[in-house]
Amino acid sequence: MILAVLSFLVLVWLIARHFGVSQNLRAVSVFIILIFILGTLFIIPETNSFSIVMGGWAPWATISFLFCITFLFRLFIDVLRNKSKHVYLSDVKEADEFSNHELERYSRHILLKELGGLGQRRIKDSSVLIVGAGGLGAPVIQYLAASGVGTIGIIDHDKVSLSNLQRQVIYPAKQVGEQKVFSAADAIYQLNSNVNVRPYNRRLNSEIAEEIFSEYDVVVDGTDNFETRYISNSAAVITKKYLVSGALSQWEGQVSVFAPHKGGPCYACVFPSPPKVGLALTCSEGGVFSPLPGVIGSVMAVETLKILSHSGNTLLGQLFIYDGLKGESRKIKINPSKKCPICSI
């Protein structure tokens, strides 16, 4: 009989939910029924046929107690959630006037206590330059745009090729042959029209690097050649910009944050000279596993957003290495070099 009554209560609960009855009202109704049963069994003699069929008052007292504890616990959790949401949404409104659209769009960021409304505001007010719109630049562009970075600059001279489509998922097949910066800019507008995009359809060189870098808060280097990496590093050191650097080949990738002005090393401290020919194969020379740029590029986006929002600990002074073939990752501590010709001067 106990199982029959409990099954009836469950059925009543489900029917009430189907008709839109609130959870609190359903819980109160079930609790009233349980108290009625318990009170009746407590009053009537134990030898009464109803009491015998129902199994006495003791099991119903236990059931009522457990139901009450469960309901109060759920109520407590709801109170905490509502309080948390109120705190972080208030944080946003105090930080600045976010539109209702922005509050909804970035709500999952805002609810993170380490980031909150103030962190999202910092992201909105920030600017990031992405050097290279290839395998690493593509996922960085997508996540920074989706996260609401105010201004995104993209510098690249290359065109979308058929071989890019295997891993550079930002580009559709119909845009093969188009300039990457314009195709990427179009993808940003499709994803988040509130982002200001600055495409630079040219190769980065030492003559323009410092001037362009000075206009941004963070520089992300996703290029696949050492010449451009050293140009980016020198310009970032001179302009005192964070440099989020990533590289990959075949199954393995690495990410680090370089910022000598914050006490960390620069790229040249760790890699003072390019490797010998044949030791570091490019994607076109040695191939690359399709999802790997997405993994490494996502880590680069994570580091960039943490810097912009002042959240958590970055990879400054650390080299993160991921091996996709073995499914392993590790971090290596890296230090500034007193002999570095770039940042020790």
Structure tokens at 330: 């590790």
Looking at residue 82, its pLDDT comes to 60
Q: Which residue has the tokens 């990410």?
A: 255
51 pLDDT band, cuts 50/70/90, is low
129 pLDDT band, cuts 50/70/90, is very high
279 pLDDT band, cuts 50/70/90, is low
Looking at residue 24, its pLDDT comes to 72
* Structure confidence by residue, pLDDT tens digits, 94-115: 445 688 888 889 989 988 989 9
pLDDT at 169 over 60: yes
261 pLDDT band, cuts 50/70/90, is very high
Looking at residue 58, its pLDDT comes to 74
Domain ranges of the chain: 2-89, 126-333
Looking at residue 95, its pLDDT comes to 46
Fold of 126-333: Rossmann fold (3.40.50)
330 pLDDT band, cuts 50/70/90, is very high
Q: Tell which residue, 297, 289, 336, 334, has the closest CA to residue 141.
A: 297
Looking at residue 165, its pLDDT comes to 92
Q: What is the pTM of this model?
A: 0.72
Looking at residue 65, its pLDDT comes to 76
